[in-house]
Every structure is written in structure tokens, then in C-alpha cells.
Amino acid sequence: MILRAADVGELVSSFLTHASEGRVRRVFRSSAYIEAGDEVILLLRGELRSPMTVNLSAVEDFGRLLAIDERCNLGMGRLEFGRMTVRTEGANVYHGGLGRDSSIAPLAGSELVRGIVMLRLLYGASQSKLDIVTDGSFRQFIYTVLLPLAEGEMAEAYLPRNYFPLIGIGGGFTPAGDDFIGGFTAAFNHVARTTGRAEIRLPKPELEKRTVPESAALIDYAQRGYVDEELERLIISAFGGRPGFFDNLLQVARRGHTSGIDVSSGVLLSAAVCRDRMTREGAVEKCLSALTNP
């Protein structure tokens, strides 16, 4: 079967300019994760674009076409598997836009708190708190990273050891802690690239020791500024670069089990940190109160 991609991410497009071998790491009905050297390529049925995604429309079930650990040949604009060849020639190339804003103006603390309350409501009345909030490592993260950042103390934010306890905690294919850290570092580094500050860097080999390889890859992509277009819109709107913040938040928060809620929480707390560094209005403490109190 030969399939033509509708869209292909910039990282995939660049990677497929040279020949290499890949391996199928994970297969779901509507998606598949392909290991390609140090990178991971996502095959996706649907239109949600990202720098590391190949978008296809004519696939009913990847599980019928691909097998875990199946080898594939990559290059010359193609991904060749045993029962399927994906051709990317002529596909639209998607380029992410994080870190390209000319200025940063995070939303007011009251708007960010409203966003946190929305996330709590979406999480469901049956559970009073997000899974991540009940873990002791999150409380440690609050006192080691979040509150000092709100006061302008940056040093601890750049130490990977302060993030590792959250990696791998929680349920789901991508654990809740991973999603939260991915959202937080993507937003933090968006500001850093825009303002010329240092970025957070969590070594990928250390991430892989603590969580599944696919989730480690997604965190690594996020901290490098490579996220899907819905998450990108949320981050940019949270920092004042685009209208429609609450619509964007709802769009991301509804995905997965609690994955969208967890990643959105990371984005909003990063925005609150940035807001406090500019205004000292207590946005971080107010957001944390809305997130953690029953």
C-alpha cells in the first residue's frame, strides 16, 4: 500500500533527505511512533500538525499495517515498511513558531487562575485534585523551582535534578509528570528564546531512564520548542501573542486521558511565573491555590 502524506513536519522533512533505517516502537489505531536514530517520528491519522509528525488521512488502523519492532527504510522523501510505503514528496511542510514572537506579555494573574479553575472542572467532580498534585515530588517542585522563580531567583530552575522526580509519575502512555514538565519547559523556553535568556535543558538520556522512550522524546521535543500546533497556540496566547486563550486552552485540555490537562497546567504555571517576574502580583501562589486546594 502506498500512502501520500498531506503534511509533514519540518524535522521529518529534514530527516528524510538522507537514507537511514528506522524501527516501529509503538502502534495504536490512529498513530504510530517510529524510532529514527536519536529522533522519533509520529505517523498520525488526522490533521493535527507538528514538526515531528507525518499526517495521513487514508489509514483506518495502523495496527493492521505495522508491527512493533518492524524495521523500515527512511529517506528520499519516503518511509518504507513491509506492508506500507509513505511518500512525503509534495506534502506541505509544517514549521513550528515557538520562540519567534517579538515580545512577551503574559496574561493577567486573574485570567491564568480562571484557566486553572477550568482545568480543575474538566478533570471531573469525582476527583478533587489532579494526580500530579497529590505526589510529594510536585510539592518539592513548587518550593524548589516555582516559588523562587516567581521571586526572580533563576538558579534552581536550570538544574535538571529538580525536574527528574516528576518524570514518570502518574498513569497513562505519557505519564502525568511528563506531560506537566513538557508543557512547563516548552513555555519557559519559548520566553527564553524570545528574550535571549538561557533555556532549561533536561538531558534526553536521563529522561529515558525514568520514563518510556516515546514520552522522553516528546519532553525533549517540547523543551526544544517543537510542539503540535494546538499546544503552540495555547503557549503563544498565554503569553499575550495571540487572542483566544480560553478556546485554545479547552482545545488542548480535552485531549487524551488527563494528558491535555497536565500539559496545560505546566503552560499556565510557567506563564504565572513570567507574570510575577514582571509585576509581583502573586500569580503563581494564586494559581497553585486554585490547582491544589479541594
Sign of the four-CA dihedral 210, 259, 129, 220: positive
- The answer to whether the Cα torsion of 225, 264, 179, 79 is positive or negative is negative
For 140-184, the pLDDT digits (tens) are 999 999 999 999 999 999 999 999 999 999 878 899 999 999 999
> What integer pLDDT is reported at residue 132 of this predicted model?
85
pLDDT (tens digit, 9 = 90+) per residue, 77-126?
999 999 999 999 999 999 998 877 777 999 999 999 999 999 988 887 44
Domains of the chain by residue range:
2-94, 109-292
Q: Please give the CATH number for the structural domain made up of 2-94.
A: 2.40.50
* Nearest partner of 71 among 28, 26, 24, 36, judged by Cα: 24
Q: The whole model's pTM is what? A: 0.95
27: helix, coil or strand?
A: strand
CA distance 190 to 224: 9
Question: Would you give the end-to-end CA distance of the chain in angstroms?
Answer: 53
Euclidean distance between CA atoms 294 and 288, whole angstroms: 12
CA distances from 263 to 19, 93, 192, 235, 273 (A): 34, 25, 19, 11, 16
Could you read off the pLDDT of 239-286 as tens digits, one per residue? Answer: 986 789 999 999 999 988 889 999 999 999 999 999 999 999 999 999
**In angstroms, how far is CA 100 from the centroid of its own chain?**
17
DSSP output for 268-286: HHHHHHHHHHHH---HHHH
